[in-house]
Amino acid sequence: MKILILSHLFPNESNPVLGGFVREEARFLRKHCQVKVIAPIAWFPPIRGFGRWSRIGRVCSRELIDGLEILHPRYLLFPRKIFFSLCWISYLTMLLWTIRNGDFDLIHAHSAYPDGLAALLFGKAVKKPVLITAHGSDINLYPEESRIGKILVCLALRHCDAVVAVSSDLKNRIEKLGVDRAKVRVIHNGIDIALFSPMEKENAVSQKGLSRRNKRILYAGGLLPVKGVGVLIEAMSILAISRNDIEMVLVGANRKGRTDREFIHMAKDLGLQETVIFVDKVRNTEIPLWLAASDVFVLPSLSEGFGLSLVEALACGKPVVSTTCGGPEDIVTEEVGILVSSGDAKALARAIAYVLDHPEKYDPVRISSYVRQRFNLEKIASQIFDLYRSLCKVTC
């Protein structure tokens, strides 16, 4: 079976940490079928001086990574979502120009818009089934931003052959958009359990040059308001009032690829410049070491389609604290962590303190085993491949 994967959420030279979950899923799917990836990026002339846009302009048109052929054709996408409701036209034109033959059995688009809508129309043209995976923003954000955005997302989801939601919350939201519930299936994102596994804390602390005395809170992800980073810093200021044995590490960057100055200033204004450590975004392969050096992982999002970073932390045997904001409810149980209401800094601080003060309640081996059973990419890829076969009616 030959699968064409479409996704603007795919790592590239300008943004190597973008959409790693899509790349990893495609890599594991190669064990079941032939995979070709179209990962379009915004067109920008190859000139210097325009930050990440200049980096985008220098991305190669073709890559071969882990045996995957990845094409990076260009399409028109303007900053700040200007004319965003029209970018599907450029995306579709790019597909018609790039794919000159129908030598594949199925199209799998990641994100309902623009990928999903363009895939739907392209699939109609080449008479191939279309599967769309919804990851979060395409359901939680786009339909709320504008009426036309909602229409475009609904058009893609209602008329494709099947929809994968990465969490139960997303599935419910998709059904509320008028999509036939019979064609919506929950398949979670997964992780490579060979990469994420428990490691010795002392060794990791030594490698990162961190304090051996302190207990450590870790956040890894985008430094964005929607991720609740400001709430987390506020929670840290509450914790710091009554204890001096903790520090917090924030690994990530803002949308421009830099550590966000707003959060740096916030930490400084709260007197946390000595206890909050900012680390620029790192490659996925470095995350296990940061997790090993920590005592609790926190994802304080205000809205989350799934929350793959929670799964990564749990696979490394670390308890987690997160919020009831969508995806985390499918992941976090009482045995592996605590969920609190989103946006509540006091509740977040209490939950973090409880986990730090009761390490005996969170056995690393049991925590890691829980994730390996539920979110192993080997199993996830098998589930997706079974869906491919049902859509294609092909025995492989």
On whether both 168 and 266 belong to a single domain, the answer is no
Q: Which of 260, 310, 323 minimizes the C-alpha distance to 21?
A: 310
Q: Which tens digits make up the pLDDT trace of 344-392?
A: 999 999 999 999 999 999 999 999 999 999 999 999 999 999 999 999 9
- Tens of pLDDT, residue by residue over 338-350, are 999 999 999 999 9
Cα–Cα nearest to 256, from 56, 52, 57 = 52
Report if residue 361 sits inside a domain.
yes
**Residue from 44, 40, 50, 45 nearest 19 by CA:** 40
- The answer to whether 250 touches 279, Cβ cutoff 8 Å, is yes
pLDDT of residue 127: 94
The number of angstroms, rounded, from the C-alpha of 375 to the middle of its chain's C-alpha atoms is 14
Shared domain check, 384 and 339? no
Q: What is the DSSP string of 209-220?
A: T--SSSEEEEEE
Q: Regarding beta strands 246-251 and 215-220, do their DSSP bridges make them parallel or antiparallel, or are they unpaired?
A: parallel
Same domain for 96 and 161?
yes
In the predicted structure, residue 260 carries a pLDDT above the cut 90: no
> Would the pLDDT of 395 be above 60?
no
Q: pLDDT: is 82 or 195 the higher one?
A: 195
Residue 234: domain span: 201-374
pLDDT given at position 19: 83
Contacts (Cβ under 8 Å, ≥6 apart) of 340 = 321, 322, 323, 324, 347, 348, 350, 351
Confidence of residue 26 (pLDDT cuts 50, 70, 90): very high
Contacts of 348 (CB under 8 A, 6+ apart): 231, 232, 235, 298, 300, 321, 323, 340
**DSSP per-residue string spanning 24-44:** HHHHHHTTTSEEEEE--EE--
* The model's pTM: 0.92
Same-domain pairing of 177 and 263:
no
The pair phi, psi for residue 349, each rounded to 5°, is -60, -40
Domain assignment of residue 170, yes or no = yes
Is 196 contained in some domain?
no
Average pLDDT over residues 137-152: 92
Instruction: Identify whether 32 is part of a domain.
Output: yes
**Same-domain check for residues 55 and 156:** yes
Query: 31 and 157 share a domain?
Result: yes
State how far the Cα of 337 lies from the Cα of 334, in Å rounded to an integer.
5
Q: Is residue 23 part of a domain?
A: yes
| Residues in Cβ contact with 265 at an 8 Å cutoff, skipping those fewer than 6 apart | none
Q: What is the CATH number of the domain that holds 340?
A: 3.40.50.2000
Residues 266 and 384 in one domain: no
User: What is the DSSP code string of 93-151?
Assistant: HHHHHH--S---SEEEEESIIIIIHHHHHHHHHHT--EEEEE-SHHHHTHHHH-HHHHH
Q: What is the mean pLDDT of residues 232-260?
A: 86
Residue 254 belongs to a domain = yes
pLDDT of residue 258: 58
User: Does residue 319 share a domain with residue 265?
Assistant: yes
Taking the C-alpha atoms of residue 130 and residue 153, their distance in angstroms, rounded to an integer, is 14
For 164-204, how does the pLDDT look when each residue is reduced to its tens digit (9 = 90+)?
999 999 999 999 999 999 999 999 999 999 999 999 999 99
In the chain, the number of structural domains is: 2
pLDDT for residue 63: 84
The answer to whether residues 165 and 49 belong to one domain is yes
Residue 76 has a pLDDT of 85
> What is residue 259's predicted lDDT score, i.e. its pLDDT?
60
**Same domain assignment for residues 160 and 220:** no
Q: What is the pLDDT of residue 263?
A: 92
Cα pseudo-dihedral 316, 320, 324, 326, rounded to 10: -10
Can you tell me the distance from the alpha carbon of 26 to that of 64, in angstroms, rounded to the nearest whole number? 13
Q: Is residue 207 part of a domain?
A: yes
Residues 136 and 205 occupy one common structural domain: no
- Reading phi first (left if > 0) and then psi (alpha if -120 to 50, else beta), residue 326 is in left
Task: Provide the 10 A C-beta neighbour count for residue 271.
Answer: 12
Beta bridge partners of 68: 65
Chain-wide mean pLDDT for the chain? 91
Cα 343 from chain centroid (whole Å): 20
The per-residue pLDDT for 257 is 56
Residue pair 323/300 in contact by the 8 Å Cβ criterion: yes
Is residue 321 helix, strand or coil?
strand
Single out the residue of 309, 3, 377, 330 nearest to residue 186, CA to CA: 330
Beta bridge partners of 75: 42
Q: Is 197 exposed, middle or buried (0-12, 13-18, 19+ CB in 10 A)?
A: middle
Kindly state whether residue 195 falls inside one of the protein's structural domains.
no
Distance CA 279, CA 200 (A): 21
Dihedral sign of CA atoms 38, 41, 42, 46 in order: negative
pLDDT of residue 314: 98
Asked whether residue 252 falls in the same domain as residue 265, the answer is yes
